[in-house]
Chain A
Amino acid sequence: MLDVASEARQIKNLINVKGITGLLPQLTDGTKLYNPNALKEIADQLASWSQKAGHTDFEISSYTILGVKDRLKKPLFATPLHVKDLVYTEEIGYPGEKPYTRGIHYTMYRGKKITIRPIVGFGTPEDTNKRIHFLLKSGATGINIVFDLPTIQEYDSDHPFAAGQVGLCGVAIDSVEDMKALFKDVPLNELSISLTTHYPSNTMILMSMYLVAAEEMGIDLGELRGTVQNCPIMETVVRTSPESLPPKAVYKLHVDNVEFLRKTVPKWNYVTYNGYNLREAGVDEFTEIAVAFANAIETSLQLMSRGHRPDDFLDRMAFFWGIGNDLFLEAARMRAARRLWYKITRYVLGAQSPRSWWCRFHVQTSGISLTREEPLNNIVRSTLHALAGILGGAQSMHVSCYDEAYSIPTEAAHLLSLRTQQIILEETGIADVIDPLAGSFYVEWLTNESEKGILSELDMLLKGGGIINAIEEGVLHRIIAEFSYKEQSMIQEGIIKLVGVNCYRSDAKVPEIDVFRYPPDAEERQRKKLEKLRKERDNETVADRLDAIKEAATREENLFPYVLEAVRERATEGEVFNVLKSIYGVWKPLVRI
């Protein structure tokens, strides 16, 4: 038997040549749902129907924001002929059972309600702490922390690059002290906390701060539940920065994080492959999932080459999807994603344990689909998005707020976002029956088409070089750039319709909405805290701990434990980032125009 590292090498070579498609088994078992006689009758009747209807050309593309557009031609209506080879037991099956088309849990929302996980973060940690307590009192069952740009890009609040950006669009975190202030009086051992760290490199630093904060608050690391993003695509493609670490270094830190957290914080989800932000940057429903899967496959192979078996790490990998306007396609592709991920983990990566086959995901309703014009219309848009997420079987959700195009949400907008989910879940009966769209000829066909669409894109990304190569060569950047330009043109030409923006424009005066005002002086307050911290900590020890990170890097060790010890001594985020830059250098993504 091959050792797991050689196995990884072999899989990588196979994928390179055959793509993922070439490694998946063909369906052999099971009886087809529709019998040939019935299908023939339907085909005959359809022929005479189309004569009567005068229709021969049934197919249209549908043009929605962030949609597949011409990649999918939709029929006028669907019949069993669209899914004539359907084998129920193999392709749809039962909840909690392979291939998980219907959901990953046996009882889905009856057993485990969706986690209502609103996004929160602005100003200083002290400011955000107040909003966290407001949301928890209003029925949030999880919390999703977002960080300001300097924190995401790993600059301290007093760095010149941070000027004017501290506490905007997220909370500012510079040190362990900030992390403690952020979660003051929040029961970290009872709640599930998501840290939207985006990058692998800042995940290592911010998660270290979170762990030290929890320890100092007297909480056992074994009790902590939650998620970090730790997504290489976020660091190398979606977000760009004046100083990015090179892709290979990003993947190394990513895998270090997984390895360390797996061992140290057993209930923690150490990666969320982020489709959402990539989608919002500018890709369609299929590319979003294909890139996230390509990313997850790459890191799985890297973990295997470090000697970890797939069943040792796949069970805590999660995904994050955006939900756009094409409701049925959105629900269908989440079903397709579950079925395809099952096949990939089992047949390509060789995972044996059912938990490793689960495609678990958080969803966020699309922010970029929301408009600045007539902002109350966004409440309707987000509600439909949320509906698609629940029909698609999401594990956790954030509903974007209607004031998205203006600022981060006001307290009232935040509450409405919680209420949207609560109304769907508690008042409408939508979540009573699992996977209610199953068996619809249209939705099953869309599910099949989504699976095909994702697979072909996955093959394109992985054949002949792999995802890291695609990043280095600027392939993903180009996909986003071309997609965005095309989409913008379609909006300008009115092909993609936006009500109140490029169609049904109204001169009627729309009531103004309240817009969030940032708490004043966040930058000044963060600066003062940093000044105090730098004065009071033991600067010699901090310097030693920072040096130790560098030394560990030359020995090619896992860097997480060294970063943890540095931040414990109150090294700041920016100081650790400086060390990482000195080790790996900086890189500029290649965007060709």
Chain B
Amino acid sequence: MEPSLRGVKVIVAKLGLDTHWKGAIIVSYMLKNAGADVIYLGNSMPEDIINTVIDEDPHVVGVSSLGGAHLSLGSKLIEQAKKEGVFEERIYVMGGVIPPQDIPTLYQLGFSLVFGPGTTERDIVTNIVKKLREKGLLTTS
């Protein structure tokens, strides 16, 4: 059976100044097609993203970075999430052009998933479903 994201709320944002929004949009469509309720925020700084997380209480926070700021702004995002108490009970996902050597660092920071170039639609949906299940955030089949 196709993995489904029905009932899952996702926020997708472009992290910082990086303007390559195509990937983020494509992934947003993929998630929507898998049944998720997707809010696309556009370019946002970590504080704005976390403010929206507070308001919307999503299951998944996906940020896209192709401009090299994945570590600097990525760590700010997680820091801010922890500070505002919205880090738990959801997963944080990073996608974009991420050099392989930075991937372990992102996991250490607190990202649950990191998707680089070449990730397929199936990979993305399946892995998000899996992570949500692991965290007990997705109980329905």
Partner-B contacts on A (CB < 8 A): 149-150, 152-153, 155, 161-165, 168-169, 238-242, 281-282, 372, 480-482, 484-485, 488-489, 492, 588-589, 591-593
Count how many pairs of residues, one from A and one from B, have CB atoms less than 8 Å apart in the complex.
81
Contact mask for chain B residues 14-29; partner A; CB cutoff 8 A; 1 contact, 0 none: 1011110110011011
Q: Does B39 contact A (CB under 8 A)?
A: yes
Which of B25, B44, B117 makes the CB contact (< 8 A) with A481? B25
> Which A residue sits closest to B120, measured CB to CB?
A492
Contact B22 A588, beta carbon cutoff 8 Å: no
Contact A161 B16, beta carbon cutoff 8 Å: yes
How many Å lie between the Cα of A241 and that of B40 in the bound state?
Answer: 14
Chosen A-B contacts, 9 in total, with CB atoms closer than 8 Å, are A150-B17, A165-B69, A168-B68, A240-B14, A242-B16, A242-B17, A242-B44, A480-B25, A593-B29
Q: Does B32 contact A (CB under 8 A)?
A: yes
Contact B69 A484, beta carbon cutoff 8 Å: no
What distance in Å separates the Cβ of B97 from its nearest Cβ neighbour in chain A? 9
Using A164-B68, A480-B25 as known contacts, list a sample of 15 further A-B pairs with CB atoms less than 8 Å apart, ordered by residue number in A.
A149-B67, A152-B19, A162-B17, A164-B73, A165-B17, A165-B18, A169-B67, A240-B42, A240-B43, A242-B16, A242-B48, A485-B30, A492-B120, A588-B42, A593-B39
Partner-A contacts on B (CB < 8 A): 12, 14, 16-19, 21-22, 25-26, 28-30, 32, 38-40, 42-45, 48, 67-69, 71-73, 117, 120-121
What distance in Å separates the Cβ of B28 from its nearest Cβ neighbour in chain A? 5
> Which B residue sits closest to A163, measured CB to CB?
B72
Q: Which residues of A contact B25 (CB under 8 A)?
A: 480-481, 484-485, 591, 593
How many Å lie between the Cα of A489 and that of B30 in the bound state?
Answer: 10
What distance in Å separates the Cβ of A485 from its nearest Cβ neighbour in chain B? 4
What distance in Å separates the Cβ of B10 from its nearest Cβ neighbour in chain A? 9
How many Å lie between the Cα of A481 and that of B42 in the bound state?
Answer: 12
How many Å lie between the Cα of A241 and that of B18 in the bound state?
Answer: 8
Contact B43 A165, beta carbon cutoff 8 Å: no
Q: A149-B19, A593-B39 are in contact. Are A488 and B26 (CB under 8 A)?
A: yes
Contact A282 B22, beta carbon cutoff 8 Å: yes
Q: A161-B45, A480-B25 are in contact. Are A149 and B121 (CB under 8 A)?
A: no
Q: Which residues of A contact B30 (CB under 8 A)?
A: 485
How many Å lie between the Cα of A275 and that of B94 in the bound state?
Answer: 30
How many Å lie between the Cα of A488 and that of B14 in the bound state?
Answer: 19
Contact B28 A149, beta carbon cutoff 8 Å: no
Q: A164-B68, A492-B121 are in contact. Are A485 and B43 (CB under 8 A)?
A: no
How many Å lie between the Cα of A161 and that of B15 in the bound state?
Answer: 10
How many Å lie between the Cα of A153 and that of B18 in the bound state?
Answer: 10
Q: Which residues of B contact A589 (CB under 8 A)?
A: 42
Q: Which residues of A contact B45 (CB under 8 A)?
A: 161, 242
Contact B22 A480, beta carbon cutoff 8 Å: yes
Contact A281 B39, beta carbon cutoff 8 Å: no
Which of B12, B26, B48 makes the CB contact (< 8 A) with A485? B26
Q: Which residues of A contact B26 (CB under 8 A)?
A: 484-485, 488
Q: A165-B16, A242-B43, A242-B48 are in contact. Are A484 and B68 (CB under 8 A)?
A: no
